Amino acid sequence: MTKTQAFIEGFIGKPIKNEYFNLWDLNDIIRKKQAKLYNENIKFRQKQIEKIAKQKMSNKS
C-alpha cells in the first residue's frame, strides 16, 4: 500500500496499519501540533490585547 492509498483509506474511515505508514500516528502528531499552535496563538493574542489596553490607558493620561 502506498502512502497515497493509505491516506485515502484514512478519509474513508478504515484503520491503516502497515510497516510504511500509520495514519493514526500521523493524526496524533497533527493533533498535538495543532493544539500547541492553538495555545501559542491564544497567548499571543492575549499579549496583543494587553499591549492595546496599555496604549489606551497611556493615551488617556
* pLDDT reported for residue 15: 58
Q: Treating both helix axes as pointing N-terminal to C-terminal, what angle do 23-60 and 3-12 enclose, rounded to 10 degrees?
A: 70
Distance CA 15, CA 4 (A): 14
Instruction: Give residue for cell 500547541.
Output: 36
Domain boundaries, the chain: 3-60
* pTM for this entry: 0.52
* pLDDT reported for residue 42: 95
pLDDT digits over 7-47, tens only? 666 666 565 566 556 667 778 888 899 999 999 999 999 99
